[in-house]
Amino acid sequence: MTKRAVRILAALLVLPWVAAPATAGGAGLPDRLGGGRIGVQAQAMTPELREHFHAPPDRGLLVTRVEPGRPAERAGVKVGDVILEAGGEAQRGTWDLVRVVGRAPEGEKLPLHVLRDGKSRTIEVVPEGVATPWPDPQGISEWIERGMQMGTEELREHLQEIERRLEELEKRIEEERQRRDGAKRT
């Protein structure tokens, strides 16, 4: 694999965690590590946690941290809530939340269907920052597998397209950072 291909692959695998939270908040900027666009961290649940929190056996992410002053806190999300759905999609793993929050349009309400104290409720959170279409991990592995079967020219074209999209994403992130830095100064 060429250095360029390794850089692109590494960016695809690492960028969601650089520009998003460490666990599950979604797209954000590197100065917001840990909470992404909504300011929440969540974890997948064990069968014992599902039983304790009365969560269904097939979905649910346990909220383990809510950052003060961020959109999730302002909307009323609390540590111990179980996120069953985000944006109408069942939440089975932390990647699900990263993907849904990451692509939620800026300034639009994102409904979170949560379980709190055995009762379900919907909380609307407005993500901060620019929406970013995160790659699906299954799609990445399929892309790598397909890449192994492609011819050199076809693979080169795919890598060029990914590099173009990464450069576009880096530009959007930098523009958002500059916009926020400018807003902080005024």
Torsion of CA 75, 127, 182, 174, to 10 degrees: 160
CA distance 102 to 160: 23
Q: How many CB atoms lie under 10 A from the CB of residue 42?
A: 29
How high does pLDDT run on average in the chain?
79
56 and 118 in contact (C-beta within 8 Å)?
no
For residue 97, how many other CB atoms are within 10 A of its CB? 29
Give the pLDDT score at 146: 65
pLDDT of res. 170: 87
What does the pLDDT read at residue 148? 64
Report d(CA 128, CA 110) in Å as an integer. 11
Q: Which helix (H) or strand (E) holds 86?
A: strand 82-86
Of 172, 175, 173, 181, the closest CA to residue 30 belongs to 173
Q: What is the pLDDT of residues 112-136, one digit of tens each?
A: 999 999 899 999 999 998 887 666 6
Calculate the CA 103 to chain-centre distance.
Answer: 8
Beta-sheet pairing, 110-116 with 61-66:
unpaired
Condensed to tens digits (0 to 9), the pLDDT of residues 37-84 reads 999 999 999 999 999 999 999 999 999 999 999 999 999 999 999 999
What are the Cα distances from residue 37, in Å, to 1, 51, 66, 138, 182?
34, 29, 12, 23, 19
User: Contact 57/51 with Cβ under 8 angstroms?
Assistant: no
Crossing angle of helices 137-149 and 152-185, rounded to 10°: 150
User: Which residue in 103, 142, 140 sits closest to 11, CA to CA?
Assistant: 140
DSSP 125: E
